[in-house]
Amino acid sequence: MATRWGICSVGKISHDFTVALKTLPAEDHQVVAVAARKLEDAQEFSRKHNISKAYGSYEELARDPDVDVVYVGVVHPCHLNACKLFINAKKNVLCEKPLAMNAKEVEEILDSAKKNDVFLMEVAWTRFFPASVEIRKLLAEEYIGEVKMVRADFGVPLFHVPRSDQKDLGGGALLGLGISCLQFISMVYNREKPESIQASGICLETGVDESVAVILQYSKNRMAMFTCSAGVHLHGEAFIAGTNGIIEVLSPMWCPTALVVNEKVTQYPVPEPHLPLNFTYSTGMRYEAEEVRQCLLKGRRESPVMPHADSLLLAEMGDEIRRQVGVVYSQDFQ
């Protein structure tokens, strides 16, 4: 039986996720409903993607008995309320990154999922692409020896997007871009908590971070570094340096399709889309969707690749980085 998806929000990322779902077999995945705050927006989205049901509220989607999993693609200040709405309606949830604005909100979402006994996963592009699977395999085999250094960069000019410099809309480089770097580093170091974090950044007059640089120190003399910027383009590459070699993740590292392992290049292409995409290689989100399906078939309530504890650790690291940089959102006081 196919996993039946509902789409919450009709923005750019929801478009790309729906396109990605359409690259999977129809007998495994079906998009059966979409919801937006305005019915006409949902109807337009449903016509574009050939979805049978369109709702003018998220509450209607939560009540739909034909939906197995809801993809939450709203802006991240709305993740808490959206996730709790669907979780309390006993829906399984795949939520865009970051899962919430801070660790306190993440804990609230995780507690709700546990109480309602439903599946919940935070989207992590850097975990499920075939290239990412290969990275984990190489690390497990100690192909490059002991990992001593990890580096990642993600910079894209975002301030032409109206919400990107607004605190109340969750703007800023760390939550918008740096989260992918943190997810990648946490994967490489197998979800280990760093011993120390040093962060510096540039904030706009609106109070959001334009650029951030972070150094994370781990046990046994291991380190990681990342930079993210919403003001300029960065190379968008990553590397993992071990005692016996280097794994390079070619740009874009947040949705990787090419690795250089000890100077040998290997391509890991993703399927071509049937509609134009908003984000590079985002048909790779199909692998996250399939992870959700496999977890549901096995009765799991969280993914072993992106477990709940990892979402909480990422939020805690993000909170500490924002504290040092001086970025405070209204949600931090609630």
Going residue by residue through the chain (334 aa), what tens digit of pLDDT does each one get?
999 999 999 999 999 999 999 999 999 999 999 999 999 999 999 999 999 999 999 999 999 999 999 999 999 999 999 999 999 999 999 999 999 999 999 999 999 999 999 999 999 988 999 999 999 999 999 999 999 999 999 999 998 887 888 888 888 999 999 999 999 999 999 999 999 999 999 999 999 999 999 999 999 999 999 999 999 999 999 999 999 999 999 999 999 999 999 889 999 999 999 999 999 999 999 999 999 999 999 999 999 999 999 999 999 999 999 999 999 988 887 6
How far is it, in rounded angstroms, from Cα 154 to Cα 135? Answer: 19
Same domain, 114 and 92: yes
State the amino acid at position 145 in one-letter form: G
Same domain, 328 and 199: yes
How far is it, in rounded angstroms, from Cα 269 to Cα 267? Answer: 6
Same domain, 97 and 136: no
Quick check: is 75 in a domain? yes
Angle (deg, nearest 10), helices 308-325 and 103-116:
160
Same domain, 149 and 262: yes
In the numeric block, which tokens belong to residue 60?
């209607």
Q: In degrees to the nearest 10, what's the CA dihedral of 250, 251, 257, 259?
A: 10
Q: Write out the residue range of the structural domain in which residue 21 sits.
A: 3-125
* Number of compact structural domains in the chain: 2
Kindly provide the b/e burial profile for residues 289-300, where b requires at least 16 CB atoms within 10 angstroms of the residue's own CB: bbbbbebbeeee
Kindly provide the b/e burial profile for residues 222-238, where b requires at least 16 CB atoms within 10 angstroms of the residue's own CB: bbbbbbbbbbeebebbb
Same domain, 200 and 319: yes
Cβ(116)–Cβ(140) under 8 Å? Answer: no
Entry pTM: 0.96
Same domain, 95 and 119: yes
Among the three residues 91, 108, 125, which one is the final residue of a domain in this structure? 125
Same domain, 311 and 201: yes
Residue whose C-alpha is closest to residue 107's, from 123, 83, 86? 83
Residue whose C-alpha is closest to residue 211's, from 182, 233, 186? 233
